[in-house]
Amino acid sequence: MRVSAPVRAAAQRAALPMLIFVSALLTVLGKADIVLIDRVRIAVADALSPVLELVSEPVASVASVVGRVEDAIAVYQQNAVLREDNQRLLQWQEVARRLAAENAALRALEKLVPDQPVTALAARVIADSGGAYMRNVLVNAGARDGVARGQAAMTGDGLIGRVAEVGQRTARILLITDLNSHIPVSVERSGERAVLDGDNSDRPRLVFLDPKTPIQPGDRIITSGSGGLFPPGLPVGVVSAIDKGVVRVEPFAELSRLEIVRLVDYGLAGVLPQSALPPPRLTPRAARLRAVETLR
């Protein structure tokens, strides 16, 4: 079909205000937390996940080659450090064994209700928001693998965030650095409670901390377990700077270099409102994945 240039130009001109209006309308609707938008967002992620995996695969391979070269260069140094670590950890192992035995004995004595079994699965990061006003990642595991909203997302180093949206084959993790992330934490040394607030910077802020609490750079921050979102004691980060009463926390996990994350189900219902998304159906694949990594 041939349309003359002036007609097409006129149509273009008319389209622009309309498109701008629709975009503006959507931003306001998105603010109202409309379930439909959440559904569309995760459905699009689900549909495009094969493409995203395809595109992210070569990048991941290049990154892993670079990592290997780095490792090869640093192998002697690392070896020395690891030897030292090993010595220290063997001592800790001793301590842990003794405490485990003592714990078991005390539990038997107190008839304590056992904790829920903890299950976890590993997933690969296939997309990274990278925007100026949000911090989240998309992983290639979803409801069919047993992922559910509110699960903790960790790396070997510490907490990185929580599962915020779940699709069939993908899930979105809200990182602890996001503006909308508020994690109940405590200072390990004093046990003082606070909330870790993301502000889109690399180091989230500690708020609602009693000003009388002694705190100094190097203090470890762990989840407090209040609110029922996460169990207490998950490592989060260390206090890195205190500037005019603003306490910043450096996360243990390297959030800018996430490749594989662990989604951990602590069996806590939590404070999250029930998701409008369908409840996860455990497929045989999910059951297998769960069986692979049962922590306790």
Partner 1 sequence: MARVMAPRDNGFGGRLVPFLSTLFFVLVSVVPLQIPGFAAVTPTFALMAVFHWTIYRPDLLPNAAVFVLGLLLDLLNGSPYLGVSALMLLVARTAVMAARRYFADASFAALWLGFLALACGIFAFAWALVSALRGEVLGTRPFLFEAVLTVACYPVGSWLLVRLHRALVRA
Q: Name the segment binding partner 1 (CB under 8 A); options: 26-34, 84-92, 145-153, 265-273.
A: 26-34
With respect to partner 1, which residue has the nearer C-beta, 71 or 84? 71
The nearer residue to partner 1, 76 or 133, going by C-beta atoms, is 133
126, 143, 222, 263: which one contacts partner 1 (CB under 8 A)?
A: 126
Q: Given the complex with partner 1, which of 67 and 191 has the nearer CB atom?
A: 67
Angle at CA of residue 119, ends 113 and 122, nearest 5°: 160
Whether 294 contacts 159, CB under 8 Å: no
Q: Measured from the CB atom, is 139 or 187 closer to partner 1?
A: 139
Name the residue nearer to partner 1 (CB basis): 12 or 274: 12
By CB under 8 A, is residue 123 in contact with partner 1? no
Task: Report the residue number, 40 or 100, with the smaller CB distance to partner 1.
Answer: 40
Which one of 4, 27, 77, 87 is in contact with partner 1 (CB under 8 A)? 27
Piece of 141-149, 242-250, 251-259, 260-268 that binds partner 1 (CB under 8 A): 251-259
- 246 forms part of the interface with partner 1 (CB under 8 A): no
For residues 144-173, one letter each, b for 16 or more C-beta atoms within 10 angstroms of the residue's C-beta and e for the rest, the string is: bbbbbbbbbbbbeebbbbbbbbbbbbbbbb
Binding test (CB under 8 A) with partner 1, winner from 195, 206, 247, 255: 255
Size of the site for partner 1 (CB under 8 A): 59
Residue 12 has phi, psi (to 5 degrees) of -60, -45
Using CB under 8 A, which of 56, 155, 223, 224 touches partner 1? 56
| Per-residue binding letters, 170-209, with partner 1 (x by CB under 8 A) | --x----x-xx------------------xxxx-------
Out of 138, 153, 160, 264, the residue judged to bind partner 1 by CB under 8 A: 138
Q: How far is the CB of 172 from partner 1 (least distance, A)?
A: 5
Q: Name the burial class of residue 10, with classes exposed (0-12), middle (13-18) and buried (19+) by CB atoms within 10 angstroms of its CB.
A: exposed
Q: Which of 120, 123, 137, 159 binds partner 1 (CB under 8 A)?
A: 137
Q: What is the contact surface with partner 1 in residues (CB under 8 A)?
A: 8, 12, 15-16, 19-20, 22-31, 37, 40-41, 44-45, 48, 51-52, 55-56, 59-60, 63, 125-138, 164-165, 172, 177, 179-180, 199-202, 254-259
